[in-house]
Amino acid sequence: MSIADPTTSARRSPLTHWHKNNRAIFTMIGSSSVVESYEPKDGSIDEQRQAKELAICDLSTLPRTGFKGQGASMWLGEQGLHLPSSSNSAVIQSSGSLIAKLSDQEALILSDIFALSNDVGNLVNRSTSDHRELTQQTYILPRGDSHCWFTVTGSKASEMFSKICAVDLRTHKFLLGSVAQTSLARVSSVIIRHDFGDTPCFYVLSDISSAEFLWDCLLDAMYEYNGVNIGINALQSLIDKH
C-alpha cells in the first residue's frame, strides 16, 4: 500500500528527503516506511530490468540488529537460529532473515525484504527482557540505527564496486553468503553477497551518519554503467519470479 508522506512514521531513513526530492513513492513494509518505486522524471524506467543490470535500493528502515560477546553465538543458537560455521559468512534462516557472522563473537541479523520474519523483533525483546549481558555475556548492538542498509543489485554490480572498494567482489570470487568488512569510498562497511533469484545482489551496511555521502558515491560510480536508484518493489519482484 502506497503512503503519501514517509514522515508520518517516526523511524525515517537518513535518505528520506533525498527520496522525496527524487519523486519516490513510499510504502509500508511491516512497520517500516520504504521506497516502493520512483516516478520517472522523463520517459519510463523499468526498475525491474534495472535491478537485473545495476541498481541501488535503500532498506535502512527495515529491521536489523546485532549481538556480540562471548556467549552471543550460543545464545543465538538457543533461540533456534542457525549461525554460519565460519566468520565473514552469512546464511539465510528458514524464516527468511539473514545472519552474518562478523567474528566468533559477533553476529548481524537482517530481516528479509518483505519483513515477514519476526526474528529481529523477537531477539530484541528476549535480549532486553532477561538481562542477557549479565548471565551469558551477550550484548545487543543497535545495528538498526548505527548502520544504514542499501542493496546493490545486478550483473554490473561487481564492476561498479571495483571503483570504490579494494576487495575483489566479482561473483566468482565473492561467493554467495560471503561477507567483507571493508571500506567503501572510505566509509567502513559490511558487504554481504545475498542474491535475489539469479540476480547478483549485495547488502551494504555502513555508518548511518555517512549514508547520504555513500549513497551519492554509489550513484556516481553507477552512472558509468547506467545504474539507478530503485524501490523495493523491483527487488521483491526478483524473488517473486523464483
| Contacting positions for other proteins (CB under 8 A) | 7, 10-14, 16-17, 60-61, 68-69, 133-134, 137, 139, 141-142, 144-147, 162-166, 168, 170, 173, 185-187, 207-214, 217
Residue placing its CB nearer to other proteins in the complex, 79 or 188: 188
Q: To the nearest whole angstrom, how small is the minimum distance from the Cβ of residue 16 to other proteins?
A: 8
Q: To the nearest whole angstrom, how small is the minimum distance from the Cβ of residue 136 to other proteins?
A: 12
Order of strands, edge to edge, in the sheet holding 24-29? Answer: 2-3, 24-29, 32-38
Coil vs helix vs strand at 9: coil
Residue placing its CB nearer to other proteins in the complex, 93 or 159: 159
Alpha-carbon gap, residue 241 to 228, rounded angstroms: 21
Residue placing its CB nearer to other proteins in the complex, 123 or 214: 214
Is 183 buried (19+), middle (13-18) or exposed (0-12) by CB count in 10 A?
middle
Q: To the nearest whole angstrom, how small is the minimum distance from the Cβ of residue 106 to other proteins?
A: 10
Q: To the nearest whole angstrom, how small is the minimum distance from the Cβ of residue 173 to other proteins?
A: 7
Are 216 and 33 spatial neighbours (Cβ–Cβ below 8 Å)?
no
Written in H, E and C, the secondary structure of 40-69 is CCCCCCCHHHHHHHCEEEECCCCCEEEEEC
Q: To the nearest whole angstrom, how small is the minimum distance from the Cβ of residue 121 to other proteins?
A: 14
Q: CA end-to-end span of the chain, whole Å? A: 23
Supply angle C-alpha 154, 149, 67, rounded to 5: 125
Kindly state the greatest CA–CA separation across the chain: 59
Residue placing its CB nearer to other proteins in the complex, 87 or 146: 146
Coil vs helix vs strand at 107: strand
Coil vs helix vs strand at 102: strand
Residue placing its CB nearer to other proteins in the complex, 47 or 58: 58
Q: To the nearest whole angstrom, how small is the minimum distance from the Cβ of residue 195 to other proteins?
A: 20
Residue placing its CB nearer to other proteins in the complex, 164 or 176: 164
